[in-house]
Structure 1
């Protein structure tokens, strides 16, 4: 850091520390490479408020498109009128080179609305340039999209985990032609996702101490406190059962040491950019080490993904990434890295789908969130049956109010999934019974012209009904 006349090195360091820009904060530059204001200041505020880098990046693309659209009409954020914003919406939906649907536009509208709220707050504009409608002050489509729940049956999940990710054949044998990478790691990740209901950005960013796996320990089960890596940073506790921990064993014993050993040269080369942890304190909840030349202590559950990716421990024999799931170079796999694993697994599943022992595949590739839906439905079905058994055993129409409130299956699943609103969990109710079984019974002896059954027609219509609904 260079010297500045009249300012000491300590004062200059303190000044830069106060004005530190959070990692992942977008900065829009003009032709002279100067920050575009007040948009860049808005992004800085969003970063300080803890908005994740992925969302800010999406906001940046939206705002950049809006600015270019306005500039082509000799307008800016201050001079824009309602008609201009509505024209941008029309262009984005129907006239741009790559148009978007209602769901994508609603995300754009949220970004634009949030930007103008900031501009009004700092006095750059008087108010939003569009008038409130019956839907409120939003530019959104106003269309309420239902939750699309795509879950797996047991045979589908085993095919997903063992054949797609694990490189086995449908009958459980070894596929000698398999050329995949790290099947034990990938199978362990699938099992962890299914058995806990965690989102992909939650389980993929776990650190060893959070599962009690530091210092070579192998606990039978684990309880994980999610915070910074949870959706919207909403804290919740996650239970990791025995089966998920057991499937982690082959990966931790066979694959992970090999990955880490090969990554030593890369890790040593970037050592100064890493958070090197010297010890884990407070029963695995705090990490103390050197970050950017300073000795610091961090609460592990409050560490964001960017910090987790560079966190390593000094073992004496080398640097060991603290991430549970690691890839080449000893780095925690990114979302795009896990997507590549998923698409490779999907291609394998399609290759084996013609076998008699292979289960039916959906029309579109399985996503990791489908394991979360499967967890939610199986848990809800089990808890509902247990609650009914309890009521039957008590020979009472209703248990005590306290038992009903604390043991309500929907509330239990809501807490486990981390849903902010009960309405999100209630939408799973319609999937508790398979409606196609009732259709089979209703039209068992019926057939339409040409041999097509009502069941076939009903299945096709039901698939179309949920085709465009988004996942959560």
Structure 2
């Protein structure tokens, strides 16, 4: 089990509260760890836990209430979301521990103090606080369900409370204009000044990787967890007649909602260039010695571009997995045998020969935005770009183009009775049309947004051509 430590002093009666994550290879160690403090039913439940289940402990014993809440989280979430929510719950639990307060004793003043510390002392963003809000709400939902307390510790008035921020009628969503994207790309990702000259202070190593990832997010609407966990067989398949490629997402998609994605030819060319240069140079330098733990790795015997099934060995057992059914956790430990040794099968890798994490991608976008902000005359939106900003941009530009095409009756035979926003909904993988509508609020179909968006992956390819390619794929039976 991995451990998340907090060096602050403990005030809990059973020792300092700690957060660990279950690893099936060490399940026996967990049983021994809890044997003196847990009853038989709890031990039996521990044996059935899957990798990544958060375990809250106090000293050598399961932590009162929090251990059960960790198991509850694992039943409702998975992957990076489960990990992040568990760490937020740990932060809140340690806050209460330091105040000598239990869940049943929490009052509104405690919630106000926690929010103040997180937003003003820890200086987290409004978006980050929304995650805290979600987790704290879930904690007290569970506490009430388990009869730990009769009600919530906060008073609600017109949907406002000590926990919830004042609600706004319009969600904060935005996309980038052509000028804003180009500034972020040229200055933030490529390290050039506004005039196009190289900036010697730009020290980013993984320029081609970062550019390929950003262009992939912009041109496909992929979420950061979706594009960060792609494997080589998924992006090296044979190209379509129009020059691009397509892949199927499922286990790595949100709520495992299956959908097909088209990668435009210009973006695919940049990805292939990155694979041939930066990625190949790193793996050659590592010489088949990826700096990752050897246990739990899925070692693939061999693979071909576009293959839909991978076969190999994991934990001493022969296994095969359909690529689209592989969750992010398995993808992160998938490697292939080569002449040099064992190398990662992940598309985007880091300097240690491991899959580039979502946290790293957020840091890439944060650093690029800061570099843009170092120039006073740049666009404000280009100074604050997140991976999800590019997903919003894709959605808005896609709808704008579809509506222009609809007015010219260009694709009516292929669309049938489908509304343009339904097509965008399917491309984004939303289950609810209302969610898609939030992405498309405001000025998404007026003014400059109605102009065609030039992606600039090369000087000849426009965003209009990319959208045209997406629609062309649909006529050939590819559901994008």
Shared fold per TM-score greater than 0.5: yes
The offset of 1:414, in angstroms, is 1.3
The 3 A distance-change label for structure 1 pair 348 and 419 is same
Q: Taking structure 1 as reference, are residues 429 and 108 closer, same or farther at Cα in structure 2, changes over 3 Å only?
A: closer
Distance of 2:45 and 2:86 partners within structure 1: 26
Query: Which moves more between the two structures, 273-282 or 242-251?
Result: 273-282
How far off its partner does 1:411 sit?
0.9
Aligned equivalents of 1:145, 1:25: Cα separation in 2: 36
C-alpha displacement of 1:132:
9.4
Contact preservation (8 Å) 1:185, 1:325? yes
Instruction: Report the equivalent of 1:92.
Output: 114
Q: Report the alpha carbon displacement of residue 100 of structure 1 after superposing the two structures with TM.
A: 7.2
> 1:161-201 CA deviation, whole Å, 9 max, x = no partner?
23321234555566677543132222211211111011222
| 2:448 counterpart of 1:421 | no
Partners of 2:180 and 2:382 within 8 A in 1: no
Deviation at 1:127, TM superposition (A): 5.3
Cα deviation digits, residues 59-79 of structure 1 (max 9, x gap): 443365357537745x533x4
- From 25, 35, 39, the equivalent of 2:53 is 25
Could you tell me which residue of structure 1 aligns to residue 187 of structure 2?
163
State yes or no: 1:385 paired with 2:397.
no
Instruction: Determine the C-alpha separation between the residues in 2 that align with 1:337 and 1:103.
Output: 18
Deviation of 1:328 (Å): 0.5
What residue number does 2:444 align with? 432
Describe the SS at the equivalent of 2:301: strand
What is the CA–CA distance in structure 1 between the aligned matches of 2:269 and 2:448, rounded to whole Å?
A: 36
Whether 1:300 and 2:323 are equivalent positions in the alignment is: yes
1:258-297 pair list within 5 angstroms = 258-264=281-287, 266-267=289-290, 270-280=293-303, 284-297=307-320
CA RMSD after TM alignment: 4.0
Q: Secondary structure of 2:356's match?
A: coil
Could you tell me which residue of structure 2 aligns to residue 405 of structure 1?
417
Q: Which runs of 5+ in 1 are unaligned?
A: 5-14, 394-398, 438-472
Report how many aligned residue pairs link the two structures. 405
Secondary structure of the structure 1 residue equivalent to 2:300: strand
Structure 2 gaps of 5+ residues are 1-25, 32-42, 450-480
Answer yes or no: is 1:366 the counterpart of 2:385.
yes
Cα distance in structure 2, aligned partners of 1:378 and 1:279: 39
The 1:52/1:377 distance shift into structure 2, 3 A limit, reads same
Cα deviation digits, residues 390-433 of structure 1 (max 9, x gap): 29x9xxxxx89x96632x11111111112232223223142235
The alpha-carbon deviation at position 292 of structure 1 amounts to: 1.7
Of 354, 365, 372, 1:342 maps to: 365
TM-score by length of 2: 0.71
**TM superposition score normalised by structure 1:** 0.72
Cα distance in structure 2, aligned partners of 1:413 and 1:265: 42
Shift of 1:240: 1.1
Highest CA radius of gyration, 1 or 2? Answer: 1
1:191 and 2:215 equivalent? yes
**Partner Cα distance (1:124, 1:255) in 2:** 56
Deviation at 1:159, TM superposition (A): 2.9
Per-residue deviation, 1:435: 6.3
Deviations 1:135-171 (A, max 9, x none): 7999645724632233222233233223321234555
8 Å CA contact retained: 2:220, 2:263: yes
Distance 2:338 2:44 in 1: 33
1:120-144 Cα deviation digits (max 9, x unpaired): 55x5547545699687999645724
